[in-house]
Amino acid sequence: MLDFGRNVAQSYIMKQISTTKAAIKALRRMPSTTAALIRAKIEAYAQDPSAQANNVKPLKGREGIRLRVGDPRVIMDDQGNVLVLLDIGPRGGVCDGKGLR
């Protein structure tokens, strides 16, 4: 029998975020408002991957996942407790590997 009087909450351990030089360079070149939004979405995914579930998809043809943040895409490798940011760029260019430096 279910007990509806209790609050059940899932707790997530925030993933450690590691960044490549290409991702840092891409963030520096973006407008500050866009970069701040991207950082917020990455941190939200690192805290609770299910919160960004509709914006995250596995890449086709190579390892990794992509996070959609409006037009920009963040290419990441989720390695369990570590989230590696590989590259950040516009839709189309970064997802097909042409933008990956």
**Count of Cβ atoms closer than 10 Å to residue 66 Cβ:** 20
pLDDT at 40: 94
- The answer to the question of residue 56 being in a domain is yes
| pLDDT tens-digit map of 28-60 | 999 999 999 999 999 999 998 888 888 999 998
| pLDDT tens-digit map of 63-77 | 899 999 999 999 999
Give which of 77, 9, 90, 11 is closest to 42, Cα–Cα. 77
**Are the C-beta atoms of residues 34 and 88 closer than 8 Å to each other?**
no
The CATH number linked to 53 is 3.30.2310.20
**Overall domain count for the chain:** 1
pLDDT over 90, % of the chain: 57
Residue numbers of the domain that contains 69: 17-90
Task: Spell out the SS3 assignment of 6-58.
Answer: CCCCCCCCCCEEEECHHHHHHHHHCCHHHHHHHHHHHHHHHHCHHHHHHHEEE
pLDDT at 14: 84
- The answer to the question of residue 97 being in a domain is no
